[in-house]
């Protein structure tokens, strides 16, 4: 439709504050478009809502886009990543040994997970994302692999928190809160649109549904109110290393 209208890819990129490469990935089916992107393009191409209707058909309940299809690219393109984990160390902060244990010895999958962490220290034309890791305190004492694996992992967690773009906060308490429903990540893109990855008992899904994002925003506020500061979190992690994993 864009070609038929004589609209250049660069024009769409300017309208959506995305790069030409990002537009190309969307058009080639290698990246899922957000609703806000589709609305802008539909309006500019005078598509009378046809692109929006198509997007809605592709995103109906029961036909979720699989997380493996687009989340790594969303993660890499994000300006901000807000992550909550209640059972394991988040993937972007895992050590190779911890990741290998979590993935039950799948070296290929473990290597891919570790490679994704490169976005946190990249020094190319795109700045690394600001990353907030909210981690339930029980994750610190749950054995994954060996005690040595855990000690190395928690030491790495302290080290990664020293990066200027990374904040690590431990969420205290075993009481009831919305975070008990599952882990999630909210990605804010350069155009300020948001996409979330939500883990369920069946699968991980991506969503940019406003109602669902609103729920996650409220959950994040609640979790941060229960979390230690970064300095206090590092102190607690050091204490757990000494008392539990040394």
Tens digit of pLDDT for each residue in 183-227?
999 999 887 888 899 987 777 788 888 899 999 999 999 999 999
Distance CA 153, CA 148 (A): 8
Residue 177, C-beta contacts closer than 8 angstroms, at least 6 positions apart: 219, 222, 223, 226
Output the pTM of the full model: 0.76
Q: Identify the structural domains of the chain with CATH numbers, from first to last.
A: 9-58 (no CATH), 67-244 (3.30.870)
Q: Exposed (0-12), middle (13-18) or buried (19+): which is 112, by Cβ within 10 Å? A: middle
Tens of pLDDT, residues 125-175? 789 999 999 999 999 999 999 999 999 999 999 999 999 999 999 999 766
Q: How far is CA 232 from CA 15, 167, 172, in A?
A: 43, 12, 11
- Tell me how far apart the alpha carbons of residues 72 and 81 are, in angstroms, rounded to a whole number: 12
């Amino acid at each position: 439709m864009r070609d038929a209208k004589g609209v250049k890819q660069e024009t769409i990129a300017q309208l959506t504050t995305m790069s030409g490469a990002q537009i190309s990935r969307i058009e080639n089916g290698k990246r899922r478009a957000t609703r806000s992107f589709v609305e802008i393009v539909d309006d500019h191409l005078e598509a009378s809502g046809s692109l929006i209707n198509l997007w809605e058909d592709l995103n109906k309940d029961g036909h979720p886009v699989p997380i493996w299809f687009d989340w790594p690219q969303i993660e890499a393109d994000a300006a901000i990543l807000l992550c909550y984990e209640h059972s394991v160390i988040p993937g972007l902060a895992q050590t190779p040994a911890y990741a290998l244990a979590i993935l039950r010895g799948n070296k290929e999958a473990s290597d891919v997970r570790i490679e994704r962490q490169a976005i946190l220290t990249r020094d190319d034309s795109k700045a690394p994302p600001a990353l907030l890791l909210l981690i339930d305190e029980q994750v610190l004492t749950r054995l994954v692999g060996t005690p040595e694996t855990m000690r190395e992992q928690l030491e790495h967690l302290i080290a990664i928190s020293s990066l200027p773009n990374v904040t690590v906060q431990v969420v205290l308490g075993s009481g009831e809160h919305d975070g008990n429903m599952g882990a999630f990540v909210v990605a804010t893109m350069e155009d300020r649109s948001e996409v979330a990855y939500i883990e369920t008992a069946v699968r991980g899904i991506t969503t940019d549904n406003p109602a669902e994002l609103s729920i996650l925003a409220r959950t994040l506020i609640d979790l941060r109110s229960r979390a230690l500061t970064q300095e206090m979190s590092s102190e607690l992690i050091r204490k757990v290393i000494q008392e539990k994993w040394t």
